[in-house]
Amino acid sequence: MQFQNFRANIEEINPSDFDLGSRSLSLLREDQVHSVVSGNKFRKLKYNLEQAKAIGSKTLVTFGGAYSNHLAATAFAGASAGFNTIGIVRGEELAPRIAANPTLSYAQEQGMELRFIPRSLYKMKSEVGILDNLLKDRANLYLLPEGGTNELAVKGCTEILDDRTSQFDYICVSVGTGGTLAGILRSASPKQITIGYSALKGTFQKELIHRYCGEVPYTLVDDHCFGGYGKIDSNLIRFINNFKRSTGIPLDPVYTGKMMYGIMDGIKSGLFKENSRILAVHTGGLQGISGMNQRLKKKQLPQII
């Protein structure tokens, strides 16, 4: 596994493809670290895996829903680093349907042991005793929170930006838990303006960002969450497909598609200054496209290409 010293490519969008005015728009291709597992996941896991090794843990345990990028990433990175992995999955009803679910079957192929629990119990997983009871048959475990965000994950995400990215005026990133944004805020230069695009309804991630970064200037919006986590409409599908046709760059429907839609909207509305340079972090999530396409087919909506 080569994520230790991964340096993502920076790709500039051809200004003739979109109406950017005097601005430039580039993507930091964190998605290219691995064909299934995206860059911010590797960044979040890097120091956690080092720590798990250092304390002699043999098994990583984590959590996720049916199409979780984090589950897939932990399964792959854990196996590559010689760990056993356990994924606690939200929804008992998924247990008989592993083969039909591209994310869960991928995680299982990587050797992840999947344990399905009812949604009601999943909600209570942080309460005392719940996990001990679920995992009482196993010892020496290293626990990774849902979404993978903890102090070591934020530390790993500080490595997303580097000496090349300081030339940009704006850094844009998609936000789930806020861990990736927190790492970026720690390493962005003071003159850079950082904008987070929430993939979920609300900007509740501000609390977590404050915990990791204290009082720092940034903007977090949920104006382009399309109604909430995992929600999508034909307008967003059309945008993602047009973006791919014009640039050759795939976007995922849950995170980066919504971020890029928000950036293009911001360019139209004048949010970004004239002559400014914008860097969008492509955090990946592309493994989720086939699962989303299954759902779109059922709803008779167009497919993501």
Ligand X SMILES: Cc1ncc(COP(=O)(O)O)c(C=O)c1O
User: Under the rule (CB under 6 A), what is the footprint of ligand X?
Assistant: 38, 40, 69-70, 147, 149, 174-181, 252, 255, 283-285
CA distances from 167 to 26, 84, 231 (A): 11, 41, 34
Structural contact between residues 86 and 60, judged by C-beta atoms closer than 8 angstroms? yes
Q: Which residues of 153-170 are buried (b: 16+ CB within 10 A; e: fewer)?
A: bbbbbbbbbeeebeebbb
Looking at beta carbons only, is 203 or 241 nearer to ligand X?
203
- CB closer to ligand X, 23 vs 181: 181
Q: Least separation, in Å, of the C-beta of 208 and ligand X?
A: 9
Minimum CB distance to ligand X smaller for 23 or for 154: 154
- How near is the Cβ of 269 to ligand X at its closest, in Å? 23
State the Cα–Cα distance between residues 275 and 202, nearest whole angstrom: 31
- Strands in 10-12's sheet, in edge-to-edge order, are 10-12, 24-28, 277-281, 170-175, 193-198, 219-221
Query: Which is closer to ligand X, CB of 174 or CB of 276?
Result: 174
- Looking at the Cβ atoms of 23 and 225, the one nearer to ligand X is 225
Q: Which is nearer to ligand X, 23 or 147 (CB)?
A: 147
Minimum separation from the CB atom of position 69 to ligand X (A)? 4
H or E element, residue 120? helix 119-123
Largest CA distance in the chain: 61
- CA–CA separation, 296 vs 282, rounded Å? 23
**CB 280 → ligand X: shortest distance, Å?**
11
Q: Considering the complex, what minimum distance in angstroms separates the CB of residue 65 from ligand X?
A: 10
The nearest distance, CB 139 to ligand X, in angstroms, is 28
Give CA angle at 185 (180, 186), nearest 5°: 100
